Amino acid sequence: MKVSILKANDNSLLETITKTLSWCTTVNLGVSYANYNAFKLFKKEIELFLRRNGTLRALFDIERFITDKFIIEELATIPGDSECKVFIKPSLEKQIKIKSYHPKFYLFYNENRYSAIIGSSNLTLGGIQNNIECNIHISGKKDNIFISLKKYFEEIWNLKYSFNVLSHSDLLIEYEKLYAKNKDEDRKKINRLIKIRKNLIKTQK
């Protein structure tokens, strides 16, 4: 077993994902947030992986309106054995024990070996390439750690609040409307941050 650290802003994370897609037969993605711009970084490798009869399962959060509709649609409808689920609770009642879905979990494997990435990187352009991120990369022949990681993904994949988007046709339509509204709120927050940064610059002079 080999353990190393993967960063986003030195391309070690992206390079590892790209190389791993060339040999694995199964991909399990349990990631909080994702966007299509990040997916485009290794879209060709994913398409080749699926043409080789690879199996892809992805579960993303949509409660925070960060994951965009396009990557959900892509992974739900791309030719090949690919399935995409989204996490959303039906209510905010106190008796619901699960508060948020927040992992950053990537598991790749074939019959003999595996590669797992666990850390801070969401499947976003920032998380994969631009941000300051830190991820542990575990790779090697299948062992007890692999068994535990595979079991973990199966647990989140089968969560009560994990829904297959193709089984809920109106879900993405409604989500897209709320996603657009949230983007407008994000722009307002960015403008507020600009003011804070200007004040910080003044105090540093």
Q: What is the pLDDT at residue 195?
A: 66
Angle, CA of 173, 177 and 179, to the nearest 5°: 110
Burial of 167 (0-12, 13-18, 19+ CB in 10 A): exposed
Long-range contacts of 97-101 (CB under 8 A, 24+ apart): 98/159, 98/161, 100/61, 100/63, 101/32, 101/59, 101/61, 101/63, 101/156, 101/159, 101/161
Q: What is the pLDDT at residue 14?
A: 97
Domain with residues 2-168, CATH architecture:
2-Layer Sandwich (3.30)
**If you average pLDDT over every residue of the chain, what do you get?**
90
Q: What is the pLDDT at residue 177?
A: 81
Q: pLDDT tens digits for 26-84?
A: 999 999 999 999 999 999 999 999 999 999 999 999 988 899 999 999 999 999 999 99
Q: What is the pLDDT at residue 89?
A: 83
Q: What is the pLDDT at residue 8?
A: 95
Report the percent of the chain where pLDDT is more than 90. Answer: 71
- For the residues 85-112, what does the mean pLDDT come to? 85
Contact residues for 127 (Cβ-Cβ < 8 A; gap 6+): 8, 33, 38, 104, 120, 121, 133
Q: Where are the alpha helices (DSSP H) in 21-157?
A: 36-39, 43-51, 69-77, 125, 144-157
Q: Are 113 and 142 in contact (CB under 8 A)?
A: yes
Q: Are 75 and 82 in contact (CB under 8 A)?
A: yes
Tokens read off for 6: 């993967």
pTM, two decimal places: 0.88
Report the percent of the chain where pLDDT is more than 70. Answer: 86
Q: What is the pLDDT at residue 189?
A: 63
- Residue 178 confidence class, pLDDT cut points 50, 70, 90: confident
